[in-house]
């Protein structure tokens, strides 16, 4: 599913346009100082909905970060979607990160899930199981199973996932968006080799989390 992202994500166009129009109208009628809070909101919307192009590393076995943010979890954990023990990575996105989500591997989407839920702080471990979330099961050409989970956060109230079962996703291909702070979990086979650690700052597509055998 190619997406010719035009620097500002399409999901943000109504927010960016609305905030800019409000700032311009108030500025014209009441002056700069009255409009200043609205100009700041418009600037926030522009930076939040930015969707910069990214280049994937050449290694086809590299598992790429699906989101911008900071790695908050690297551990052996139970994958609740494929019912297996797996290597789990969690990337936390704050409101200053770009929120476009991209496929960490090249492969076919085998199945998708959506679960309504709470809106706990996405940095908490229990948010992976209790918050609203959408998940993808991706099988790589070499048969590795990768689970990618978009998790809503305290402020995030809208998960957008465009991928469908049977669809092929390329490495770094855009598949969704989460509005206003959240996290993305990735479950990998235990045979994967770690390349990122807790605390690392990562970028969607360009940063490597692990390497598949």
- Catalytic residue numbers read 182
**Sign for the pseudo-dihedral over CA of 177, 47, 181, 183:** positive
- DSSP structure string for 90-121: EEEE-TTS--EEE-SS-EEEEEEEEE--B---
What separation in angstroms does the CA of 127 have from each of 48, 121, 132, 162? 22, 7, 8, 22
Contact residues for 125 (Cβ-Cβ < 8 A; gap 6+)? 73
Choose among 122, 115, 105, 120: nearest CA to 80.
Answer: 115
Q: Which residue has the tokens 């522009």?
A: 46
CA 188 – CA 190 distance, rounded (Å)? 6
What radius of gyration do the chain's Cα atoms show?
A: 18
């Amino acid at each position: 599913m190619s997406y010719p992202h035009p620097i500002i994500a399409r999901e943000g166009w109504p927010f960016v346009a609305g905030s800019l129009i409000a700032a311009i109208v108030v500025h014209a009628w009441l002056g700069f100082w009255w409009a200043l809070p609205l100009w700041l909101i418009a600037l926030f919307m522009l930076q939040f909905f930015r969707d910069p192009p990214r280049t994937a590393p050449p290694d086809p076995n590299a598992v790429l970060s699906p989101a911008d943010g900071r790695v908050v979890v690297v551990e052996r954990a139970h994958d609740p979607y494929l019912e297996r023990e797996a290597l789990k990575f969690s990337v936390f996105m704050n409101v200053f990160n770009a929120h476009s989500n991209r496929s960490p591997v090249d492969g076919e989407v085998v199945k998708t899930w959506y679960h309504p839920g709470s809106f706990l702080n996405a940095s908490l471990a229990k948010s992976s199981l209790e918050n609203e979330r959408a998940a993808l099961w991706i099988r790589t050409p070499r048969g590795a199973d990768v689970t990618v989970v978009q998790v809503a956060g305290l402020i995030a109230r809208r998960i957008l996932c465009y991928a469908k079962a049977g669809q092929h996703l390329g490495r770094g291909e855009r598949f969704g968006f989460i509005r206003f702070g959240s996290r993305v979990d990735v479950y990998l086979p235990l045979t994967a080799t770690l390349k990122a650690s807790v605390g690392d700052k990562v970028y969607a597509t360009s940063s490597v989390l692990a390497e598949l055998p």
